[in-house]
Amino acid sequence: SDQYVVVEVGNERMLLEKIGGDPLRVVWEKRPGSVLAVARGTQKDGAWVFSDLFLFKPAP
């Protein structure tokens, strides 16, 4: 199974980086409107580019 190291932790954000293999980062963050987002990041031209995997919204 994959293992990750914590890169950054804040009040509304946590950034993880995969150990070994292709460079991969995962960010969990709170967004406006009580939305929790999980995004996957890959390196492109020396910068991290993130795309949303999941968006969790509160039930109505």
Tokens of 34: 């009580």
What pTM value is reported for the model?
Answer: 0.87
All structural domains of the chain with their residue ranges:
4-56
Quick one: pLDDT band at residue 59, thresholds 50, 70, 90? confident
- Please compute the mean of the pLDDT values over residues 13-39 and round it to a whole number: 96
Helix (H, G, I), strand (E, B) or coil at 11: coil
Q: What's the DSSP call for residue 23?
A: -
φ, ψ dihedrals at 37, nearest 5°: -115, 140
Question: How far is it, in rounded angstroms, from Cα 49 to Cα 58?
Answer: 27
- Could you tell me the sign of the dihedral formed by the alpha carbons of 50, 52, 53, 58, in that order? positive
